[in-house]
Structure 1
């Protein structure tokens, strides 16, 4: 299932990404609609999550540990992390220890991971537009694992990047 989610993620972004010099990834400058931002805020409020901060693109985040070292990952960086991804219902759709190129993932992760350094720990609350939008994500058997228009919650520890 993890490979399916990351494979779909890479396919969508590689086909939608504007190419530039270097590694080929560029800032998409996507901002979630106000209604989606409000839905994330409502989720946080109803779950007494008061420490989350709002990014200008519309996702919310809690930095649990900033990490150490210098620098943060860029779009061309290979990131190695442990994560759990879940829906607002609490259903865990994926968890793994994995590595990927930051630019080849959903916008919410592309913007959220550079907020921490190596060893950092962050929770991201990502509205649909910065995740999979109005597209269902299915596993190999055709079962929907992430319904369209879902708010995603990621609990991430970044082990390394280069």
Structure 2
């Protein structure tokens, strides 16, 4: 009887695992798909971007002359966040610990100094990934125009 219960439980578990939410479209895109989306955005918009080893693209508009931020810095930035179709999803001026934001910012912001400006084109795996997050659809390539106002 115990064997039957164990086998039945395992069959039920496997069956339920196979019933995942496949219709939501939340499967992750591949790095190659993300890169193709970013390259299309760069080409379509005439952006002169450099590919970072992490997979994000960046364009330094102004390098800045002040302090260079580290992962342990608190930074103040003025920014606009858009999707590749240029629809804005966020923006403003904010202060925050650099170590507490998306990985794309942790990698990209230290490429400039205080007073600098940068465009970051960030793949989903360095942003919010496959799943929707606070109104941002899963698998979104995010574009940020950032001015680094202060580094502490």
TM-score, length-normalised on structure 1? 0.72
Q: How does 1:35-114 map to 2 (within 5 A)?
A: 35-49=33-47, 51-69=48-66, 71-114=67-110
**Gapped runs of 5+ residues in structure 1?**
1-31, 139-143
Q: Which of structures 1 and 2 has the bigger CA Rg? A: 2
2:117 aligned with 1:159, yes or no? no
**Gapped runs of 5+ residues in structure 2?**
1-29
More helix by percentage = 2
Residue 137 of structure 1, CA deviation: 1.8
CA displacement 1:116-162 (0-9 Å, x = unmatched) = 00100000000111100112122xxxxx2x11100100000000111
Residue 109 of structure 1, CA deviation: 0.3
Separation of aligned partners in 1, 2:90 and 2:142: 11
Q: 2:93 is paired with a residue of what secondary structure?
A: strand
TM-score, length-normalised on structure 2? 0.77
Separation of aligned partners in 2, 1:84 and 1:46: 19
Residue 96 of structure 1, CA deviation: 1.2
Structure 2 counterpart of 1:130, from 104, 126, 132: 126
Question: Runs of 4+ in structure 1 displaced over 4 angstroms?
Answer: none
Separation of aligned partners in 1, 2:128 and 2:91: 17
Q: 1:137 is paired with a residue of what secondary structure?
A: coil
Separation of aligned partners in 2, 1:150 and 1:84: 15
